[in-house]
Amino acid sequence: DSGVTQTPKHLITATGQRVTLRCSPRSGDLSVYWYQQSLDQGLQFLIQYYNGEERAKGNILERFSAQQFPDLHSELNLSSLELGDSALYFCASSVSGQGNYGYTFGSGTRLTVV
Amino acid sequence: DQQVKQNSPSLSVQEGRISILNCDYTNSMFDYFLWYKKYPAEGPTFLISISSIKDKNEDGRFTVFLNKSAKHLSLHIVPSQPGDSAVYFCAALNTGTASKLTFGTGTRLQVTL
């Protein structure tokens, strides 16, 4: 157990629908990152939150949004889903700004859009 | 624009031999590099890292080498064990901006008996 909890582990939904992926960071970690891994692709950075505020944005589609709540958990909302959104979505957390640059990843949510 | 590249999608090595995984980067602002290991149905786990002020970092069977002039790093695993079979991701960041990690596409290592 890495300490980063992602729910649900698997999600199957139809095109056009909306889903919410949830992430609880490791205790003490203020930063949360969302990554997408499509088939045979690397980990594509989507968005970062630090202590409730958006810190950095990557190639995140306008149909996707995220937020980090006061208790530091984060949610990634995916709407108007398309077949191409099927992927593994990983959340990671870190203690930013303290010389520790590694992330701790959750086990991911596998999203299948049918 | 793929700033971190792992040009070998897969690698097969015999147990006991050396595994060498390669990674190239294009962004000269990257000054910290990490390797992650990923098993199926699990998230990536941190393996080893290196700062740009060093050219080598060793941790047990794992050694990372950094060649800044060539913008190239490599991960050596000696001796390779069947449990090392996994996907290995190279990642990089600019510590000055505390930017996010940029990952390569991964290399699948298979250690055979």
- Cβ neighbors of A52 (< 8 A, separation 6 or more) are A68, A69, A70, A72
- Across the interface, whether the CB atoms of B93 and A103 are under 8 A apart is answered no
Rounded to whole angstroms, how far apart are CA atoms B16 and A113?
A: 42
In tens, the pLDDT along A33-68 reads 999 998 767 899 999 999 999 988 998 999 999 999
Query: What distance in Å separates residue A106's CA from the closest CA in chain B?
Result: 5
Looking at residue A96, what is its pLDDT?
Answer: 66
Mutate to test the interface with A, among B100, B101, B103, B107 (most CBs of A within 10 A): B100
Residues of chain B found within 8 Å of residue A42, distances taken between Cβ atoms? 2, 4, 6, 89, 103-106
**pLDDT of amino acid A2:** 81
Q: What is the pLDDT of residues A58-103, one digit of tens each?
A: 989 999 999 999 999 999 999 999 999 999 999 999 886 545 678 8
**Average pLDDT over every residue of A5-20:** 97
Length of chain A as a residue count: 114
Mean pLDDT for the stretch of residues A16-35: 95
Cβ-based contacts of B39 with chain A (< 8 Å): none
Cα–Cα distance, A40 to A25 (Å, whole number) = 26
